[in-house]
Amino acid sequence: MITVLARGHFSVIGLDSSFANFAICDQMSSRVNTEEIEVECPFCGETFSIVVDTSIESQQYVEDCYVCCRPILFRVNCAENEEPQVNAERS
């Protein structure tokens, strides 16, 4: 049994803490689905891969281009059983 005491702190009854850390990480990773997507930089036109968390339906974030280092605004929509839709625009 794992009891969460506070953020980042927990108590384990009958298990050592290394096993408890593994159990918690394993539960969290089972909920995350990722997919590698090829995108084109809106600044330099180079193509590179990003990893998208498909367990989140709609998201947006800024990430720098791996080639020219300019900021790109990514808007990602993930519908169940469909290819993620990624829009990359100048930030």
How many whole angstroms separate alpha carbon 64 and alpha carbon 66? 6
- 2-37: per-residue pLDDT in tens? 344 444 444 445 545 554 444 445 555 456 789 999
Quick one: 8 and 48 in the same domain? no
Mean pLDDT of the chain: 78
Quick one: 22 and 9 in the same domain? yes
Quick one: 66 and 80 in the same domain? yes
Provide mean pLDDT across the span 71-91. 93
Residue 53 belongs to domain spanning = 34-90
Quick one: 57 and 83 in the same domain? yes
| Residue 31: predicted pLDDT | 62
Provide mean pLDDT across the span 40-59. 95
Burial of 86 (0-12, 13-18, 19+ CB in 10 A): middle
Sign of the alpha-carbon dihedral angle for 75, 64, 30, 83: positive
Alpha-helix residue ranges (DSSP H) falling in the chain: 17-29
Q: Provide the percentage of residues in the chain whose pLDDT is more than 70.
A: 66
pLDDT at 70 over 80: yes
What is the count of structural domains for the chain?
A: 2
